[in-house]
Amino acid sequence: MAKSEMRMSASTALALAVVVGAAAFAAGRATVGPSSTASADRDPSVAAAPALHSAEGNRAPGPLPPGHAGDLPPGHPPADMPPGHPPVSGSAGAADPAAGAAIAELTWKAPPRWEKVPNTSSMRLATYRVPRAEGDGEDAELSVTQAGGSIDANVERWMGQFGEEGRRTAKRTTRKVGSLDVTVVEVEGTFSGGMGPKAGAEKGWALLGAIVATPGMPHFFKLTGPVKSVKAAKAEFDQLVGSVATAAPAH
């Protein structure tokens, strides 16, 4: 009886060992499977590289490819230059400057009663408040800028700020100031080219502008405001335009 029990115990132990060994083998195959092998073969530098995320949880964008819409188009004015900084010339739509021509600086004399005020845009070189005429509800304003684009294109843009009415009534003349060619534009009607607080349609407004063809890039003198105020300032505007002169860039 004792020998029989010992043989049964040995058989039972052998069976249990076989079962346990099979289970261990199966577990080992599950651990070292195809996915584990792929991870081992993967470039560790790639495997360790975390995904880039912004604070909001969206994927952070990479560098924009050349020509992407995020780049400013040729001829576009500077997006964020400090006040008084000379604009950067674009390659397209410029007033056909000579290759390598320096961008000229300009001087002028403003009328004594015009008040120079802070620029409302980094693209402006100067801004003046022009006192209103009697009966008008607000002052006129003169802005001075320098930017690319042909003279014809900019005249068309100014007229377009008054719609079809402005195109029909606009006047364009030319004059010579020293060696500089100047194009003068006069438009009246409903003005829709304002920015900031003056954005929107302004009825009964006028524009008196001068485009000075300075080397490299033209200068723009743009007087806008109620018709009476602009007309009352015309003589002073003409004097200012008559005082313009090129100056050597400061070094």
Q: In 3-state terms, what secondary structure has residue 27? A: helix
Residues 60-66, mean pLDDT to the nearest whole number: 32
Question: 195: pLDDT confidence band, cut at 50, 70 and 90?
Answer: low
Confidence (pLDDT) at 248? 64
Residues 48-53, mean pLDDT to the nearest whole number: 32
Candidates 138, 176, 172; CA nearest to 158 is 172
Query: Given a cut of 70, is residue 128 above it in pLDDT?
Result: yes
Whether the CB-CB separation of 233 and 240 falls below 8 Å is answered with: no
Cβ neighbours for 134, distance < 8 A, ≥ 6 positions apart: 228
Q: In 3-state terms, what secondary structure has residue 22? A: helix
Phi, psi (deg, nearest 5) at residue 239: -65, -40
Lowest mean pLDDT among 31-35, 59-63, 87-91, 205-209: 59-63
HSE, side-chain direction, 13 A CA sphere, residue 23: 6
Confidence (pLDDT) at 151? 96
Question: 250: pLDDT confidence band, cut at 50, 70 and 90?
Answer: low
Three-class SS string for 73-138? Answer: CCCCCCCCCCCCCCCCCCCCCCCCCCCCCCCCEEECCCCCCCEEECCCCCCEEEEEEECCCCCCCC
- The pTM is what? 0.59
Cβ neighbours for 208, distance < 8 A, ≥ 6 positions apart: 184, 185, 186, 223, 224, 230, 233, 234, 237
Q: Count H helices and E strands in the chain, helices first.
A: 7, 9
Residue with tokens 């004594």: 112
Tell me, what DSSP letter sits at residue 60?
P
Give the length of the chain: 251
* Residue 158 to residue 25: CA distance in whole angstroms: 85
Q: Which of 27-41, 63-77, 126-140 is most confident?
A: 126-140
The two structure tokens encoding residue 148: 């690319």
Candidates 187, 220, 222, 184; CA nearest to 205 is 187
